[in-house]
Structure 1
């Protein structure tokens, strides 16, 4: 039965009952209306209003649930669906919304995959140019300073050496940026070694880092390894630069033989009800690309935990 006919028949039943009471022997109305008769009529009116309110609330409850599901829908957190109850127009509308949401999630995953693939290609290109062009140029400048330092007077040698060390520091920074843009250790040595190197990179005075990486991890595939590495990189960057953490921990382990779970935790200031930034949104997009589940837990005390659970593909799948 359509929503219109359900509401119409509900009101019709209430009106028929009220009319039956008025024309029956139970209720009489005098002219002028007596006090007790007015009380009876007012009570009947209140009963009709209450009955109509209850019927409308029950009839429109599925529509309210659908509205709440629409407001809570987030393409970066797939799997959310509105509950389908009953039959009729509202059930069909809810099912259509669920189908549309699934289609949008699929299209979002495809478009995010293309964007992230293009982003990784651009990262590799920039890293290669930094290493081959800028890195070689700075190396040549360092060698030139070294040759000049051997020929200049003693009074100027210290300044030349200082400039040489400044350029050397810039070269190290360029190489560090190139490694972050294109993690060569991930391609050469695999995910466990890349994560260990990443944790070491974030070690600094006043910041204690630790890691526990399961050495028995089987091959995850290039895409899954890149997702795990980039999420770990972004989570550790947020912890080191923005949260003021003094302790950062990373753990990678298998979860029940069907998934790999990455956990990055810190004792920083936490989110404190701050809006999600581009970094966290990027992590969610990467997780969505691989069908993974990303959860972020931040306590009032400031401890923050980022957990990524990546399902393992069946053998032979790519």
Structure 2
């Protein structure tokens, strides 16, 4: 173990406590504390501080009272022992044992803390005592007691403390006539004073309990005042999160929480205004696109009709005239005439194809299924290397806007698959179920990045397909990868 990771103490290598354990404990404690609500935290803090303060004050008061009472007991003991020693001189000199005994007895009776008193002559013999019939305890005559007793701060009087069945006993040893006539020994007990200390301690503990209860009540009121507006703000936030922008947080007071509630209400009001403006703009955009697409389809329909009825009839008349000319002219002109007829026929076919691409007449006459079948056959002739697999299962005609939107979506998807995806197989499935119609176009092309194209808005075709579906409250999804592209459109009926 390196010196940076361990220390040597008394020849032993002491490893430091791993810091990661402290961090883990700290995280555990913080997670536990963080999981407790604010009301419980405040109540716990108030209760803990109140109890700690009450116990600390009680302990200090008890220690001070014990010390003061001990000093006071020593002072009274010195005073009583000194007085008893001076009053015992005459009975001892007169050898009046009875008077000496009565003096000791009255002294013990008049002082509630006095436990016993006795007088010894210079030879250590007991002259009088207050132990009565119980007998004098011989242990008190141990000569080592007087030798080990400490002198008090009051002159020649000695003081020593020992433990007995009565608790701690303070014994005062006062010499009589400087010790020439003997000594007086007075025993004082702490029992009464200790009872007073215990009573005061109990009262203070009860006071601490009462203060703690009052603190809990005050903390409950405080936490109610603090958490009630916060909980209301949380409910309002949840309501706004569910789309109710009319919800407002109540203003409880003109404090920080009230300021927060006002700021939140202003934010919700601004959000409601912004959402309303966005909705209005979105509605206007939808209306504009709808009108634009409608006008576009109407224009395509008009152009298709003109091409079909105007140019088509002219070309037909041209072919008839050429045929007539062919029968009436010389044989050398037949080659030229045949060439003109072929050009006219090709032009007519191109015009009709263009007409169907602009607005297929089958879409208006026979519906979406027939129009898609015609378009698939023409698409296969235009792209010989592409295989088309079309399945259109529609039991009835659909509303005209829906048929038009689906036709244009399928048309755009197939064109993109062949032109950009380099697909060789294109599958188209159109079906109706569950109150909606679905169109699925799949190919085996190279695919593309759908998200990038949407972000750049570089594909007008994809944007047009999405707008057509959204204008009819439908959806359009595109999935593309290296194995091909799938376009899924669904429009409710």
- TM-score exceeds 0.5: yes
Q: How far is 1:254 from its partner?
A: 2.3
Q: Paired residue for 1:210, among 365, 386, 389?
A: 389
State the number of aligned residues.
226
> 1:179-216 CA distances to partner (integer Å, 9 max, x unpaired)?
12222111111222222222222113211101111143
CA 1:271–1:170 in structure 2 vs 1: closer, same or farther (change >3 Å)?
farther
Q: Paired residue for 2:487, among 296, 306, 312?
A: 306
Q: How far is 1:251 from its partner?
A: 0.6
Q: How far is 1:155 from its partner?
A: 4.1
> 1:128-182 CA distances to partner (integer Å, 9 max, x unpaired)?
1101111111111112222233344444422321221122111001011111222
| 1:115 pairs with 2:296 | no
Q: Which residue is 1:238 aligned to?
A: 416
TM-score w.r.t. length of structure 1: 0.64
Supply the distance in 1 between the matched residues of 2:482 and 2:273 (Cα, whole angstroms). Answer: 40
Supply the distance in 2 between the matched residues of 1:215 and 1:291 (Cα, whole angstroms). Answer: 20
Supply the distance in 1 between the matched residues of 2:332 and 2:444 (Cα, whole angstroms). Answer: 50
Contact map agreement 1:293 1:310 (CA 8 A) in 2: yes
Supply the distance in 2 between the matched residues of 1:99 and 1:196 (Cα, whole angstroms). Answer: 44
Supply the distance in 2 between the matched residues of 1:221 and 1:307 (Cα, whole angstroms). Answer: 20
| 1:163 pairs with 2:335 | no
Contact map agreement 1:199 1:250 (CA 8 A) in 2: no
Q: How far is 1:90 from its partner?
A: 3.8
TM-score w.r.t. length of structure 2: 0.43
Q: How far is 1:298 from its partner?
A: 1.8
Gaps of 5+ in 2: 1-246, 250-263
Supply the distance in 1 between the matched residues of 2:340 and 2:329 (Cα, whole angstroms). Answer: 14
Supply the distance in 2 between the matched residues of 1:142 and 1:270 (Cα, whole angstroms). Answer: 46
Bigger CA radius of gyration: 2
Q: Which residue is 1:132 aligned to?
A: 309
Supply the distance in 1 between the matched residues of 2:480 and 2:370 (Cα, whole angstroms). Answer: 28
Q: Paired residue for 1:221, among 391, 395, 399?
A: 399
Residues 1-318 of structure 1 aligned to structure 2 (within 5 Å): 87-204=264-381, 205-216=384-395, 218-255=396-433, 257-272=434-449, 273-274=452-453, 275=456, 276-301=458-483, 303-312=484-493
Contact map agreement 1:185 1:193 (CA 8 A) in 2: yes
Q: Which residue is 2:35 aligned to?
A: none
Supply the distance in 2 between the matched residues of 1:304 and 1:162 (Cα, whole angstroms). Answer: 44
Contact map agreement 1:249 1:264 (CA 8 A) in 2: yes
- Secondary structure at the residue paired with 1:243? coil
Supply the distance in 2 between the matched residues of 1:251 and 1:206 (Cα, whole angstroms). Answer: 20
Per residue, is there more strand in 1 or in 2?
A: 2
Contact map agreement 2:394 2:430 (CA 8 A) in 1: no
Gaps of 5+ in 1: 1-83, 313-318
CA 1:215–1:103 in structure 2 vs 1: closer, same or farther (change >3 Å)?
same
CA 1:154–1:233 in structure 2 vs 1: closer, same or farther (change >3 Å)?
same
Contact map agreement 1:203 1:209 (CA 8 A) in 2: yes
CA 1:194–1:104 in structure 2 vs 1: closer, same or farther (change >3 Å)?
same
CA 1:241–1:140 in structure 2 vs 1: closer, same or farther (change >3 Å)?
farther
CA 1:295–1:136 in structure 2 vs 1: closer, same or farther (change >3 Å)?
same
Supply the distance in 2 between the matched residues of 1:300 and 1:90 (Cα, whole angstroms). Answer: 46
> 1:71-112 CA distances to partner (integer Å, 9 max, x unpaired)?
xxxxxxxxxxxxx9x944444444433333222222111111
User: Cα RMSD (Å) of the superposition?
Assistant: 2.4
Supply the distance in 2 between the matched residues of 1:157 and 1:268 (Cα, whole angstroms). Answer: 48
- Secondary structure at the residue paired with 1:265? strand
Which is further off, 291-300 or 263-272? Answer: 263-272
Q: Which residue is 2:62 aligned to?
A: none
- Secondary structure at the residue paired with 1:150? helix
CA 1:159–1:240 in structure 2 vs 1: closer, same or farther (change >3 Å)?
farther
- Secondary structure at the residue paired with 2:380? coil
Supply the distance in 1 between the matched residues of 2:365 and 2:426 (Cα, whole angstroms). Answer: 26
Supply the distance in 1 between the matched residues of 2:416 and 2:330 (Cα, whole angstroms). Answer: 48
Supply the distance in 1 between the matched residues of 2:284 and 2:486 (Cα, whole angstroms). Answer: 29
